[in-house]
Amino acid sequence: MSGDSEEGASKVTDETDEKKAIRVAVTGAAGNIGYALLWRIASGDCFGKDQPVILQLLEIPPGMQRLDGVMMELRDSAFPLVHGIIGTDDSNIAFSDADAIFLVGSRPRTKDMDRSDLVAANGPIFVGQGKAIDAVASANVKVITVGNPCNTNALIANANAPRIPSSQFSAMTRLDQNRAVGQMAEHSGVPASKIHDVFIWGNHANTMYPDPRFATVDGRLATDVFETDWLRGAFLDTVATRGKAVIVSRGASSAASAASAAVDHMRDWWQGSNGRIVSMALPSEGWYGVPEGLVFSFPCRCENGKATVVEGLPIDSFAQSKIDENVAVLMEEREAVGGLLEIS
């Protein structure tokens, strides 16, 4: 199949009896995360059970045949909320009038690559996609970056889209938050639904800090429920290295849990976090001393479509050292991609 948007596209209707369909773009749509993510979006888990969607799916040319198969299966699922499906290898088509964008597609890290190779390989993708978002997406678009290194990729896309406010760009650390909740649930025997307000500082990388100090477990402070040694030791290490552990065990990187976290991130941003603290990596406005512009995971609350960083939380010396460590890594990444941040 060629990259022509008309091929494989189903009939698109904007009108419904109730809400107007929103346009949701997903890149890397034929990949592993895409395969789990699209079904959750299509079923209404992300934007609401009464919110129709038009799916605008982007792949690179070698992925177009796989995308065709994914689109066949989406149609075969007959989701009532799906009012159209477009498949394309042109980001200007995929992002056209998009209200929400999931930037998932990027080159996966291979054995011979270190983090700086990954940054160099994937950075240029986000220059082109940032420019396309700037050119054709809705002015109110919400962008979540999942493709790694996601913080720096979001930084690049944001820099290349000056028309769109920085506050509408984000990167995903929700999987890390969910992993932290999962560990606390397993360790305490309390269901995940009763664990609140554990969140991630920093980079989606093994330097991240899952902060337990404000978390509650069935109404009790996590710091009273768990030993400090566990919170700063096995808990932190397990969360920070979970991605690798899944690869070793499954032979493939986290996909269903990553898709689920992307849905959680966008759902809370879109529909509100009901007063709960959630982790979102956002372009810093200087919060907690993090240099302006760095895409850094902060504690946030979402309401009326807006994510607000929770300011004024006390920072102890351990938390400060973790924040500093993440700032240093992200500054290095920013320097490495400096040439991609200047709009030509």
By CB under 6 A, name the binding residues for ligand NAX: 27-28, 30-34, 58-60, 63, 104-108, 125, 146-148, 150, 172, 175, 204, 243, 253-255, 258
Residue nearest to ligand NAX (CB): 31
Closer residue to ligand NAX, CB minimum distance, 59 or 99: 59
Please report how close the Cβ of residue 50 comes to ligand NAX at its closest, in angstroms.
29
Closer residue to ligand NAX, CB minimum distance, 106 or 168: 106
Please report how close the Cβ of residue 147 comes to ligand NAX at its closest, in angstroms.
4
> Which residue from 292, 41, 53, 334 is spatially nearest to 167, judged by alpha carbons?
292
Closer residue to ligand NAX, CB minimum distance, 85 or 146: 146
Please report how close the Cβ of residue 126 comes to ligand NAX at its closest, in angstroms.
9
Closer residue to ligand NAX, CB minimum distance, 25 or 81: 25
Closer residue to ligand NAX, CB minimum distance, 126 or 226: 126
Q: Supply the residues annotated as catalytic.
A: 204
Please report how close the Cβ of residue 176 comes to ligand NAX at its closest, in angstroms.
7
Please report how close the Cβ of residue 293 comes to ligand NAX at its closest, in angstroms.
19
Angle between helical axes of 32-42 and 256-271 (0-180°, round to 10)? 40
